[in-house]
Chains A and B, each alone.
Chain A
Amino acid sequence: MKLLRLKPGHGEIVLAEGDVEVPEQEAELIEAFRRELDGGMWAAVPTVTQGGRREAEMVKSFGEVPRDAERVIFFPRAAGGR
């Protein structure tokens, strides 16, 4: 699983990468996940439905991330624009 973050002037950066089945790596993923959420980011998991439709799922804790998810994408929280 990769944790990615959208970043101005750069595109996405890899925050952490690891196997959720390996406890040490999972712990690193969880720590990075919490750090981003505490920093005010939103987290989404791109998914493909059974019908083949692509969409995203917002997650608010690492426990909500599907174990087989390949990526979690963090991006700044939405704010009303002008």
Chain B
Amino acid sequence: MLLALSTAAIVLLALLWELSRPKLRDTLAQWHRQRKAAGRGAAQLNYDPGRERRAEQRARELLRSCVNDEEWGMYRDLGFMRVWGRLGERPGADAHAMAGAPYAYLVYPHKPIVAYLPQTGVLLNEYCVAFPDHTRPYGSARLPDSDDVLAKWMALTADEHQLIADANMHLPGRQIDPEQIRRDLARLSRWERERLERAQRGAGSVPAS
């Protein structure tokens, strides 16, 4: 009698298990989906689509307050900045300070620094350098574009040798298309010409009385 009852109970349990298994599986899968969705929801709540834009706006203001008007105008209008090499001063600025051919760098946000000879347009090298913030605030180690330019500008004007030593040097064309750089140099040349013309017009104009 006891044996028969035990057998019946085991059979009943097995049947119940078989019947409830699909429902249990579905419930478990739904629970996993809900957990994933909750995680995504939290991440979306933390994501602020305007944060990067505001960060860049702040960075631009800081950059503007640090560099001179010409450099700022260049970056604002062309998207890159020329920084003169320290070993060769700007032509005509101070003849006594010149040592060797003048050279300069083109500083782009989050791209290599390009060294070139302004008088001939010859490209010298690409210096790949980054300023990663390993604390990764907001999940990214990457500075806003204008902060990256500012960091390069500060490092170049303060300690060019150190920055160049820290960078990975490559021949031109490894990351930035040389044709693009030549186009940028032509834009820079045009931009400087127009700026000079504007300054001359401003200096020569007579205020209306």
Residues of A within 8 A of B (CB): 4, 6-12, 39-40, 42, 44, 46, 51-58, 73, 75-82
Contact = CB atoms under 8 A, between A and B. Distances in A.
Contacts of A40: 134
Interface in B112-150: 112, 128-144, 147, 150
Would you call the interface of chain A mostly helix, strand, loop, or mixed? strand
Contacts of A10: 51, 55, 58, 137-138, 144
A80 B151 contact: no
A75 B143 contact: yes
Given A8-B144, A76-B131, A55 B56 contact: no
Interface in B141-193: 141-144, 147, 150-151, 153-155, 157-159, 162-163, 166-168, 175
A75 B151 contact: yes
Most interface-central of A10, A42, A75, A78 (chain B CB within 10 A): A78
Interface residues of B, number: 48
Contacts of B112: 81
B147 A12 contact: yes
Given A6-B59, A76-B134, A46 B144 contact: no
B66 interface: yes
A40 B132 CA distance: 11
